[in-house]
Amino acid sequence: MKMTFRWYGSDKDSITLNQIRQIPAMTGIVGSLFDVPVGEVWPTQKIKALKEEVARSGLELEVIESVNVHEDIKLGLPTRDKYIENYKETLRNLAKFGIKVVCYNFMPVFDWTRSDLAKELPDGSNVLSYEDEKVQNIDPNKMAEEMENNSNGFELPGWEAERLKELKSLFEQYKGVDEEKLFENLGYFLNEIIPVAEECDIKMAIHPDDPPWSIFGLPRITTCKDNLERIINLVDSPYNGLTLCSGCLGANPENDIPEMVRYFGKKGRIHFAHIRNIKIHEGRNFDEASHLTSDGSLDMFEIMKAYHDIDFKGYARPDHGRMIWGESARPGYGLYDRALGTTYLNGLWEAIGRMKGEK
Ligand SMILES: [Mn+2]
């Protein structure tokens, strides 16, 4: 397992590369170019600059999260071919700089969704939280506005004001797209993209939908084991794989995360592991939590053991953390709790290995 850390860039993150480098066992950064509009080709100069900046701090840049997929591709519009060609070009450009994994998602309109970006826990820390009733009953425009107002001044990927201006017409366009159609559109995309990924030696890793169920009546398909199985079979190639996000999939208690790690891991289709805990409440409601097993609803020991048992050699990162110790950062992406989470995951990993007799 190679431990990595998501970073938004020196002008967009409150955390520095040097701080990240000092977290034990940290090997690299998970980066992106946030100023390239969705659908456009990522310029080599910008990729090069990011790669070099990360390398100067003694870290690697081998994972990109995300290269976002243009809405026309998800909608299956005739204009998708142009955006797919751009996506291929971006992959070719990324390959020139040693990128090995590209994380992406196929969620219509909205990226990750929460009803509260800073819910206070009894210990005074705060976390992202999801209340289904609140989300399903809010006007999506209002939700976009609230996300913007509560983001500590950071622009949230997937919730860019620019993109959300078109909400009304997007909802209109999605009226003819059900889950089957979305699978079909994902299949079309993958059939085009995966041969290029193979050429470039870049593993594509689809991120689950967050939360893993339909919101605002929009279709969602990256939600459960059966659907993930269907997705990796849309194009049967080791380059068509998964970002297995324990916190996203784990929001549905029917998703058995350790079992999914073993199942997809043995097939060699997990290219990127997002590892975090969440606390599930009655119904479809949950709070995010520290990584510790006893703070949430997921068994982090069993999850790490599953990765260890399949001899997982891919990239992993701690996922969202709480906001603690007075830090002001991007919601979910503070330094302190993700560093604590990393160290905890490393501790589990070492202990599991030692118990198997590893040195
Ligand atoms: Mn994730």
What pLDDT does residue 40 have?
96
Cβ-Cβ contacts under 8 Å for 116 (sequence gap 6 or more): 128, 129, 130, 131, 150
Query: Domain spans of the chain?
Result: 2-355
* Amino acid at position 289, single letter: A
CA of 248 to the centre of ligand 1 (A): 6
pTM metric for this prediction: 0.94
Instruction: Give the residue among 254, 352, 285, 271 at the shortest CA–CA distance from 4.
Output: 271
What pLDDT does residue 253 have?
95
CA of 318 to the centre of ligand 1 (A): 9
Fold of 2-355: TIM Barrel (3.20.20)
CA of 274 to the centre of ligand 1 (A): 5
CA of 300 to the centre of ligand 1 (A): 15
Q: Is the pLDDT assigned to residue 161 strictly greater than 90?
A: no
Instruction: Give the residue among 102, 109, 61 at the shortest CA–CA distance from 206.
Output: 102
Which band of pLDDT confidence, cut at 50, 70 and 90, is reported for residue 162? low
Mean pLDDT of the chain: 93
CA of 246 to the centre of ligand 1 (A): 7
CA of 67 to the centre of ligand 1 (A): 14
Q: What is the pLDDT of residues 50-66, one digit of tens each?
A: 999 999 999 999 999 99
Q: Give catalytic residues, as residue numbers.
A: 207, 245, 274, 319-320, 333
Distance (Å, whole) CA 291 – CA 200: 34
What pLDDT does residue 206 have?
98
Distance (Å, whole) CA 256 – CA 93: 37
More confident residue, 266 or 136: 266
Q: What is the pLDDT of residues 19-47, one digit of tens each?
A: 999 999 999 999 999 999 999 999 999 99
Q: Is the pLDDT assigned to residue 143 strictly greater than 80?
A: no
128: phi then psi, degrees, rounded to nearest 5 = -80, 145
More confident residue, 168 or 219: 219
